Structure 1
Amino acid sequence: MRIKLASWYGDHKPGDEIDVDDVLLKALRKDGRVAALVEAPAEEAPAPQQEAPVQPAPVVEQTPEPAVETGRKRR
């Protein structure tokens, strides 16, 4: 994920765009150092994978099991 900095972060000046992971993004947002999230360029974005249509699973009917008595009864 790329962000644009609102203030200095290490050697990066305000306005620089840097790559961050989710943990670093959360920390920088907490400190108020994130000016904006930057969209990745179209050429770098991975192509979406086409998935095969999902087949519904066959329905299996189950018979209910009888209740098991423990031997002790409540009063």
Structure 2
Amino acid sequence: MLIKLASWYGDHKPGDEIDVDDVLLKALCKDGRVAAVVEAPTEEPPAPQQEAPAQPVPVVEQTQEPAAETGRKRR
């Protein structure tokens, strides 16, 4: 991964672009030495997921029943 330095790091001056691994990137970010990530890590695109064909949802008819009384009654 390619980063641009915000401050000195070893022999590299601020503004230099250096190639680092994930562990070093985290350490440099923690120290505030990374100005920008120039080249982000290339991530493999996620595999396309096959969608299941839409199936009709069965309609369930509900009968109107009086609601059961629960809890306290008001006076």
Q: TM-score, normalised by structure 2?
A: 0.53
Q: Deviation at 1:36? A: 0.1
Distance 1:15 1:32 in 2: 13
- Give the gaps of 5 or more residues in structure 1: 55-75
* Deviation by residue 1:18-52 (Cα, 9 ceiling, x = unmatched): 00000000000000000000027xxxx8xx8xx8x
Q: Give the percent of matched residue pairs that are identical in Structure 1 and Structure 2.
A: 84
Runs of 4+ in 1 over 6 A off after TM superposition: none
What corresponds to 1:34 in structure 2? 34
Q: Report how many aligned residue pairs link the two structures.
A: 46
Distance 1:39 1:9 in 2: 19
Q: Deviation at 1:9? A: 0.1
What corresponds to 1:59 in structure 2? none
Q: TM-score, normalised by structure 1?
A: 0.53
Larger Rg computed on CA atoms? 2
Distance 2:4 2:10 in 1: 14
Structure 2 matches for 1:1-75, cutoff 5 A? Answer: 1-39=1-39
* Deviation by residue 1:46-75 (Cα, 9 ceiling, x = unmatched): xx8xx8x99xxxxxxxxxxxxxxxxxxxxx
- Give the gaps of 5 or more residues in structure 2: 50-75
